[in-house]
Amino acid sequence: MPTVLNSFRLDGKTALVTGASRGIGAAIAVAFAEAGADLILVARGDCATTRKAVEAVGRAAHVFRADQASRAAMDRLAAALGGELPLPDILVNNGGIVRRGAFAAFTDADWDEVMEVNLGSVFRLSQTVVRQWLAAKRHGKIIHVASLLSFQGGIEVGAYTAAKSGLAGLTRLMANELAPHGINVNALAPGYTVTENTRALREDAARQRAILDRIPAGRWAEPADLAGAAVFLASPASDYVHGHILAVDGGWLAR
C-alpha cells in the first residue's frame, strides 16, 4: 500500500472511546477497528453491538461501564488504565448529553450534569491518560467531540453550549502544552447527526425542516459520516495537526 495510505492505519494501537454504546462513538470505534486498532469501549450501557462489530473485523474490545456524571465511577476507570485495562494510545472523548430548556428556566441540576458529563469528566480522563503518557514518554492522540455549538450559541441548550465552547478552549490549551511532547490534541465538531442526541429536534417538524434547509449538503449526517475524520485525527496522517477543531457539518459553518 502507498505510504500515504499506510499513514491512516492504526495497527498495533489501542483506542479508548467514551460514549461507545451507540451513535457517533460506536461509528468511530468500529472505524478504528477497521483501521487496525483494539478498543476500550466506555459507556453506561453494555456496548454489546459495538463490541460485536469490533470483534467481527478481528480486533479486541474491552468494555468498561461507567457513568461520566459520577466522579467515583470515572476514578475507577482512571485506576484501571495501565492495569486491568491497557493504557490507550488514542483517547476519544465522545460521550455526551444534551438537556433542553429556556435560559431563564434552566435548572441547576441540568447545568451540573451537562457540565460534568460533557466537560468535567473529559478534563479528568484526559489528565489521567496524559499523566501516564508523559511519565512513560509516550506519544498519543486525543480527540474531543465538540459541536457546532463550540462555534455558535444555539437555542435553549445553555449548558451544552457552555460545555462544548469550553471544550474548544480546552482543545487549544491542551494542544499548546502537549504538542512539544508529541501528543496531538484536536477536536471533531459534528454537524446535525441522526442519533439519540437529536431525537427531540428531529421529532419537531418545524425545527427539523429549518435545520435541513440550512445544511448546504442537503441532508443530516449519519454517524458513519464522522468516521473518516476521526481516523485521520487518530492516525499518523495528522501528526502535524494540533489544536484544530475539524467541523464535519455538511457545510453548515460555511453558510
Ligand X SMILES: NC(=O)c1ccc[n+]([C@@H]2O[C@H](COP(=O)([O-])OP(=O)(O)OC[C@H]3O[C@@H](n4cnc5c(N)ncnc54)[C@H](OP(=O)(O)O)[C@@H]3O)[C@@H](O)[C@H]2O)c1
Under the rule (CB under 6 A), what is the footprint of ligand X?
19-25, 43-45, 67-69, 94-97, 117, 145, 147, 190, 192-193, 195-198
Out of 160, 192, 232, 252, the active site residue is 160
Spell out a b/e string for 170-200, using b for 16 or more CB atoms within 10 Å of the CB, else e. bbbebbeebeeeebbbbbbbbbbbebebbee
Q: Which is nearer to ligand X, 79 or 134 (CB)?
A: 79
Shortest CB 87 distance to ligand X, Å: 20
Shortest CB 220 distance to ligand X, Å: 8
Shortest CB 138 distance to ligand X, Å: 26
Tell me whether residue 118 is exposed, middle or buried, using C-beta atoms within 10 angstroms of its C-beta: 0 to 12, 13 to 18, 19 or more: buried
Neighbours of 30 (CB within 10 A): 25
Dihedral (Cα; 132, 134, 140, 143), 10-degree rounding:
80
Q: Which is nearer to ligand X, 48 or 136 (CB)?
A: 48
Chain position carrying cell 462555534:
151
Shortest CB 123 distance to ligand X, Å: 14
Check if 240 is active-site: no
Q: Which is nearer to ligand X, 69 or 183 (CB)?
A: 69
How far apart, in whole angstroms, are the C-alpha atoms of residue 232 and residue 238? 6
- Sheet architecture: strand order including 90-93: 61-65, 38-43, 14-18, 90-93, 140-145, 183-190, 245-248
- Reported as half-sphere exposure (CB side, CA atoms, 13 A), residue 184 has a value of 22
Catalytic residues: 160
